Amino acid sequence: MKTLIIIPTYNEADNVAWICDSVLREQPEVDILVADDNSPDGTGDIADKLAVDDPRIHVLHRQGKEGLGAAYRAGFAWGLAHGYEILVEMDADGSHRPEDLGKLLESARSGVPLTLGSRWVPGGSVVNWPKRREALSRGASLYARLMLDLGVKDATAGFRAFRRETLEAIDLDAVESQGYCFQIDMTRQTRLAGLAVAEVPVTFVERVHGQSKMSFDIVKEALTRVTVWGLQRMNPFGARR
């Protein structure tokens, strides 16, 4: 099945060549789309050179830093327009291991509408994360699961594979979330469309090069939106719809 790995970048000059090479060594039949938000460190220029040397690599140059959600929406639109059947979200910094990619692709190719690479199912793990970061991630997933009845352990997972028909069933233009709230929102939208979500265990590794994009605003957005969505699921008497 025609498969696209979407890798959003902003100031990932130290990582973009390595991650593209690693992905293609593990899964030589896939294509890669680097969606670069006009990185001032030259990430986009590096990606362009990679694309010249390898026809499996493509580059989507965006006007500026608009957030993770906007980058993925643009990547999805590009991939759907170019006929891809499986579209995968993957970080540029190595936190999503290329050697785990096969698990997601096997699940997606078997017909699962959305497959999450999960840290919090049996067999999943994190490496080199401080305890407070792990607590934040686990807490956010638990809160989203309880408020939205998502039925998954790792609602904020950013390593995930969508089938084409899943994305076509979702109104992507209505998904305005950014940061890891975007991941919660996409899981929510998939569930609202009546589609199944599966989780496969992966190992998440803290980045070595560059800086994390996590911020207080990202956490605040997720908390606010999940709370609002959760309340919308309640009828006036407090019963769930």
Domain ranges of the chain: 3-232
Task: Say if strands 86-89 and 57-61 run parallel, antiparallel, or are unpaired.
Answer: unpaired
Using one digit for the tens of pLDDT, what is the confidence trace for 36-50?
Answer: 999 999 999 999 999
Residue 94 has pLDDT above 60, yes or no: yes
Residue 150 has pLDDT above 70, yes or no: yes
> Would residue 210 be called left, alpha or beta, if left means φ above 0 and alpha means ψ between -120 and 50 degrees?
left
Residue 189: CB atoms within 10 A of its CB come to: 20
Question: Rounded to the nearest 10 degrees, how much is the dihedral formed by the CA atoms of 203, 206, 208, 212?
Answer: 140
Q: Report residue 161: phi and psi, to 5°.
A: -125, 125
Is pTM beyond 0.85 here?
Answer: yes
The domain covering 3-232 belongs, at the CATH homologous superfamily level, to Spore Coat Polysaccharide Biosynthesis Protein SpsA; Chain A (3.90.550.10)
Which of 191, 202, 176 lies closest to 88, judged by CA? 202
pLDDT reported for residue 239: 46
Residue 103 has pLDDT above 50, yes or no: yes
Summary mean pLDDT of the chain: 90
Residue 181 has pLDDT above 60, yes or no: yes
Q: Which residues contact 217 (CB under 8 A, 6 or more apart)?
A: 179
Confidence band, pLDDT 50/70/90 cuts, at residue 78:
very high
C-alpha 77/C-alpha 96 separation (Å) is 22
pLDDT reported for residue 209: 54
Residue positions counted in the chain? 241
Do residues 86 and 163 make contact, with C-beta atoms less than 8 angstroms apart?
yes
Residue 236 has pLDDT above 50, yes or no: no
- The runs of H, that is alpha helices, within the chain are 16-26, 43-53, 68-81, 101-109, 131-148, 164-169, 179-192, 216-232
C-alpha 152/C-alpha 138 separation (Å) is 12
